Amino acid sequence: MKVLVTGGAGFIGTHLCRRLLHEGWQVSVLDNFNPQIHPHGQKLPADLSTGLTLFVADVRDRAALHRALEGCDALVHLAAETGTGQSMYEVSRYEGVNVGGTAHLMDYLMNAKENHIQRIVVASSRAVYGEGKYRCETHGVVYPKERLVEDMDAGNFEPRCPHCASFCRPLPTDEGAPYQPTSFYGLTKQIQEQMVLLFAKARGITAYALRFQNVYGPGQSLSNPYTGVLAVFAGQARQGKPIYVFEDGEESRDFVYVEDVVHAVVNALKTSQEGLYTVNVGSGQPTTLREVAERINHFFGNRSAIKITGSYRLGDIRHNIADLRLAKELLDYEPRCSFPAGLQNFLHWAEAHHEEAQGYEASLEQMRQRGLMRG
């Protein structure tokens, strides 16, 4: 079997390519080596420099798609811009890559004279849910809208019931939850997965939209200020600088280890279950950002002060927890790496790579200037 991985030179992509090559797949990679993610130029990790075929090009380059897709039976579409905060003020960029790039890809596949793709796996995101699934003491299961600025200005960060406006508590969100993205990033991922599923339905092929939670692990960009909170906190703690935590520190995320994500993608490529599916991929466990900061600070010798700022960013959600029952049923997926173990792996790797997030403060200032960060 031969597969094309778009964005295959990135964090998840390199881990996936290693696994696919190990299992005997023929692998092609299409990646434009965005400098924000790849500050050291257009090169793959040394262990991937041979064994796969690399095409350095944008996913919107039709001629490159023609070359990269030659002979491929399957497609894994990872290429995307991924910064929630950045998406709020670089709207055109995120639309162009995530929506436009996927549209170019689907257009090529629909019109190519020779197209052997029988299965597509697209990297979607839990961001399509917005706040996701909650329980109200009065109304039961509810799906809160975006949080109110007035509440957050007053230090009340929990979502409210859409019926009675009482504060409610989070539940694991299943795939039946409605689309309610709170960021432009989430909106682009919604459109991206819908385009892939619509294309696959029209062509009568199988497609899996895998809604990744917060993916982390060795190999993620440490210099990209939009790469995720773990890299930012690790950079601050390693230097003994204060670790700044937004809101009240009790916001939570479902952190999923990169090798668990790879396991889900490979199973989606290999399963005999055909059709069109959206599937959560996460750990199923919430971790507060206060706990994340404390664990990272402890690893680096408790040299940093942890400052709970009360500040917040528009577009951020409060909590997320993946309901993994469908992933187990369709993909035999169960997370294998706990957050404490995975975090240790990540921090040991990060400690050996002396890179810091470049422009993190500048990225926050960009949001402040536009009224997208408050407090």
Identity of the residue numbered 10: G
Residues 330, 340 contacting (CB under 8 angstroms): no
Exactly one of 134, 185, 244, 312 is catalytic; which is it?
185
- Residue 56 pairs with which residues in a beta bridge? 31
State the Cα–Cα distance between residues 95 and 124, nearest whole angstrom.
14
Output the DSSP codes for 79-142: -----HHHHTT-HHHHIIIIIIHHHHHHHHHHH-SS----EEEEEEEGGGGTT--EEETTTEEE
Residues 136, 195 contacting (CB under 8 angstroms): no
Residues 4, 69 contacting (CB under 8 angstroms): yes
Q: Is 134 a catalytic residue?
A: no
Q: Is 30 exposed, middle or buried (0-12, 13-18, 19+ CB in 10 A)?
A: buried
Alpha-helix runs per DSSP H in the chain? 11-22, 62-68, 84-87, 91-94, 101-111, 149-153, 184-203, 229-238, 258-270, 289-299, 325-331, 339-351, 360-369
For residue 373 the two structure tokens come to: 């960060």
State the Cα–Cα distance between residues 64 and 284, nearest whole angstrom.
38
State the Cα–Cα distance between residues 320 and 181, nearest whole angstrom.
13
State the Cα–Cα distance between residues 326 and 270, nearest whole angstrom.
16
Identity of the residue numbered 28: S
Q: Active-site positions?
A: 185
